[in-house]
A and B are shown apart, each in its own frame.
Chain A
Amino acid sequence: MLAGSIFMSGLDRMPDAPATPTDESPVLERFLRESERRALRMAELAAGNREEALDLVQDAMLGFVRHYAARPADEWPPLFWRVLDSRINDWHRRQRVRGRWLGWFDRAGDDDEHDDPIAAAPDPCEPGPLARLADSEAGIALEAALRALPLRQRQAFLLRLWEGLDVADTAAAMRCSEGSVKTHLWRALANLRNTLEKYR
């Protein structure tokens, strides 16, 4: 089981919003302002370019405000990420359909079933793939490794570890079971580690 301490890193970023239904725009605006940059980076990692990512974030904000702004503010984080995840999935689906028409198939794919868990298991003596890289190099390496991940694995990694949602909220955001979140996350960690090994 993964240690829980590091997985709380994003929780301190969540707004101290009231737990009662509210329609006060300042609270909503603050929540969106605090989430939008990470939402953009998440969308950018999925879409591969900033323009598309900005459109996805704007769509997500509109959808979230229209459908969920009246809900209690403490329910907002998983709902917002759920809307964004849905937009990213839709975008990804459209790209795949377009790719089929163009005769191009994404070789990375989203098929998580062919991963070999034993081959992907981490080496216990290794301090970590990013340990020997300078920040700029490590940032580039991490970005490339995240982009190479299948969509669901990347979303599980970003929502659970970066955004700091707990397993239940991550499952709600990704519309899957908690067990699936754990599986996607474990595979994401194994794949990231393997990919980042090349940068050492």
Chain B
Amino acid sequence: MNTPRKPLDPRVPTAAESGAQEAWVERAVALLDESARDLDAATLSRLNRARQTALASRRRPRQRWLIGGGFAAAALALVVAIGINQRAVPPPALSADVAAQEDLDALVGDDSPDLYENLDFYAWLDAQQQDGNG
């Protein structure tokens, strides 16, 4: 079976072309090597700094973790210390204390509990007696 022949691909060089191409490409590569080798001192210094910066960025995350971990541990210790301190010395319940003190005064005083229960009546009686005297 005859298959149609492909046209010659202009992208495929002959052996002679390849040899010629190799020669000038080799020279081009050598010239590029030379241009990279002959960089000035200032440029090389900048490259060195760029490299060191890049390498330092690799070490930095570990330092960040250490610093972050230290801060977290300190914060946790502070929270725990405050919690313990609050448990050891509970804050005074002022309103409860005042009410207890009033109850104690009522029990210990000379006035009978009856007086406290009918305080409004005794106040009115006192007012009537003062009006009668007046």
Given contacts A40-B47, A50-B43, A127-B24, contact A25 B55 (CB under 8 A): yes
* Contacts from B to A (Cβ < 8 Å): 10-14, 16-29, 31-37, 39, 43, 46-47, 50-51, 53-55, 57-59
Given contacts A9-B26, A124-B17, A128-B23, contact A37 B37 (CB under 8 A): yes
Q: Are B50 and A57 in contact (CB under 8 A)?
A: yes
Given contacts A62-B53, A124-B17, contact A3 B58 (CB under 8 A): no
Interfacial chain A residues near B19, Cβ < 8 Å:
3
Q: Are A122 and B51 in contact (CB under 8 A)?
A: no
Not counting A9-B26, A32-B55, A62-B53, a sample of 15 additional A-B residue pairs whose C-beta atoms are within 8 angstroms of each other reads: A2-B21, A9-B29, A25-B58, A29-B51, A29-B55, A36-B50, A37-B37, A38-B32, A54-B50, A66-B58, A122-B17, A124-B20, A130-B27, A130-B31, A143-B35
List the one stretch of A90-98, A100-108, A167-175, A186-194 in contact with chain B: A186-194
> Contact mask A176-192 → B, CB, 8 Å, 1/0?
00000000001001001
Q: Are B54 and A122 in contact (CB under 8 A)?
A: no
A-B pairs under 8 A by CB, number = 127
What does DSSP make chain A's interface, helix, strand, loop or mixed? Answer: helix
Q: Which residue of B lies closest to A70 (CB)?
A: B58
Q: Is A73 on the interface with B (CB-CB < 8 A)? A: no
Q: Are B22 and A5 in contact (CB under 8 A)?
A: yes
Which of under 10, 10 to 19, 20 to 34, or 35 or more describes the interface residues of A? 35 or more
Q: Is A88 on the interface with B (CB-CB < 8 A)? A: no
* Contacts from A to B (Cβ < 8 Å): 1-3, 5-6, 9-10, 23, 25, 28-29, 32-33, 36-38, 40-41, 50, 54, 57-58, 61-62, 64-66, 69, 117-118, 121-122, 124-131, 135, 138-139, 142-143, 158, 161-162, 186, 189, 192-193, 196
